[in-house]
């Protein structure tokens, strides 16, 4: 932890580019924008808060675990990355319950981000707002510069937690449906992926097993050439072999100018593919960083740290 302290006190933990300055005042001070998560080839530096902020108190900020770039060139390259998702002071309440409490962060293109937190932490509410299924009470969300609406929906590929494909559809009907309504849907890619997963396209959705339904739905989403993929529990109901294929699909099918947000409880399965993570707790950002940054500062994996932070 000495190393952690030194880094925290010695220099700013993250770049303070224009995007970071857009953070809302009530965002925890040490929270960093994912925009500053370095690309894989960037030299690493580590930053973390001191011990006093590493508590699991609901209102505390658990800190930043960014693997920050040390050199100017990678930092400049990072700064040039276009912001895909920008949230500013986003809040949403259900009656008395505050599901999201003024969260602010940004995600640039080319990143796979894990949105993590226990049940009721606000993950699904956040995802629904970005997907256009819910309206925020206050704050602002833009996807590639577009407010949530028709334009944003055209570039966001959303995988819900439940099977949303009508049960009376055949797999072929689902392909036709996506091809009709999403201009970025790649039919050939979908057919190839379905072939890889040995899904019979003539079968009705209602006759498929739960896992196969999830696979079909994931294929429909990942066959789009979207700018932002939002995957809510994409691997929860499938077998380990299919899980590997799905994770491989997520990595291989998104382009460098798009980003992926994955919400899951199976952290260890996706940890290896994550560029960054966000811990949500009681509707606030509890922690934000990269797996590498966390490893260097605390010597823990994201899964281990999650279990520690959210221990019941």
Partner 1 sequence: MLGKLLKQDMKTMSRFACPMFIASAAVAIVCCTMLYFTFSFAEEADTLWGAMIVVGSFYVMGLIAIIIMAAIVSVMTAVRYYKSLFTDEGYLNMVLPVKTSTMFNAKILTTVIWSTLASAVAVVCCVISFIVPTLLYDKEILDSFFVDIDFFLTLITGNETMSAILSVLGTINTITGVVEGVLIIITAITVGSVVMKKNRVLGSILFYFIITFIQENVISIFQLIVTLAMGSLGEGGAIASSIFNLVVNIGVTVGMYFISYFILNKKFNIE
Which residue ranges make up the site for partner 1 (CB under 8 A)?
A: 128, 131-135, 149-151, 153-154, 156, 158, 160, 162-166, 168, 177, 180-182
Q: Cβ 281 to partner 1, closest distance in Å?
A: 21
| Angle (nearest 5°) at CA 217 between 214 and 218 | 85
Collapsing DSSP to helix, strand or coil, 307 comes out as: helix
Please list, in sequence order, all residues whose beta carbon lies within 8 angstroms of the beta carbon of residue 179, skipping any fewer than 6 positions away. Answer: 185, 187
Cβ proximity to partner 1: between 169 and 282 the closer is: 169
Q: Which is closer to partner 1, CB of 179 or CB of 273? A: 179
Residue 99 phi/psi, 5-degree rounding, is: -80, -40
Instruction: Check if the beta carbon of residue 101 is closer than 8 Å to that of residue 121.
Output: no
Report the length, in residues, of the chain.
312
Q: How far is the CB of 56 from partner 1 (least distance, A)?
A: 28
- Return the closest-CA partner of residue 61 out of 18, 8, 2, 97: 8
Query: What is the nearest approach in angstroms of partner 1 to the Cβ of residue 167?
Result: 8
CA 56 to chain centre: 22
- Residue 166 or 195 having the CB closest to partner 1: 166
Nearer Cβ to partner 1 (162/202): 162
In angstroms, what is the minimal distance from the CB of 182 to partner 1?
7
Question: How distant is the alpha carbon of residue 186 from its chain centre?
Answer: 23
- CB of 17 or CB of 173, closer to partner 1: 173
Using CA atoms, how far apart are residues 159 and 280, in angstroms rounded to an integer?
19
Pick 176 or 304: Cβ nearer partner 1:
176
Q: Is 103 left (phi over 0), alpha (psi -120 to 50) or beta?
A: beta
Distance CA 293, CA 66 (A): 5
Q: What is the smallest separation between the CB atom of 164 and partner 1, expressed in angstroms? A: 4
Q: How far is the CB of 219 from partner 1 (least distance, A)?
A: 14
């Amino acid at each position: 932890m000495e190393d952690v302290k030194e880094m925290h006190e010695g220099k700013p933990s993250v770049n303070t580019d224009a995007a970071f300055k857009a953070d809302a005042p009530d965002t925890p001070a040490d929270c960093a924008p994912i925009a500053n998560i370095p690309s894989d080839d960037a030299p690493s530096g580590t930053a973390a808060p001191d011990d006093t902020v590493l508590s699991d108190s609901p209102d505390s900020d658990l800190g930043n675990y960014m693997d920050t770039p040390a050199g100017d060139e990678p930092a400049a390259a990072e700064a040039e990355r276009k912001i895909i998702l920008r949230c500013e002071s986003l809040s949403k309440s259900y009656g008395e319950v505050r599901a999201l409490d003024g969260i602010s962060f940004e995600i640039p293109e080319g990143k796979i981000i894990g949105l993590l937190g226990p049940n009721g932490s606000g993950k699904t509410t956040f995802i629904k707002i970005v997907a256009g299924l819910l309206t925020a009470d206050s704050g602002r969300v833009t996807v590639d510069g577009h407010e949530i609406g028709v334009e944003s929906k055209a570039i966001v590929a959303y995988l819900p937690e439940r099977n949303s494909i009508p049960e009376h559809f055949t797999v072929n009907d689902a392909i036709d449906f996506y091809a009709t309504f999403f201009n970025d849907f790649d039919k050939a890619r979908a057919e190839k992926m379905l072939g890889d997963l040995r899904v019979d396209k003539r079968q009705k959705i209602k006759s498929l097993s739960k896992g196969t339904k999830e696979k079909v739905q994931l294929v429909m989403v990942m066959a789009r050439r979207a700018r932002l993929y939002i995957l809510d529990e994409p691997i929860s109901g499938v077998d380990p072999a299919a899980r590997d294929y799905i994770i491989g699909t997520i990595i291989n099918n998104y382009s460098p100018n798009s980003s992926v947000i994955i919400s899951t409880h199976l952290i260890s399965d996706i940890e290896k593919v994550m560029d960054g993570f966000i811990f949500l707790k009681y509707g606030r950002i509890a922690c934000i960083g990269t797996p590498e940054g966390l490893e260097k500062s605390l010597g823990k994996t994201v899964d281990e740290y999650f279990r520690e932070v959210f221990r019941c």
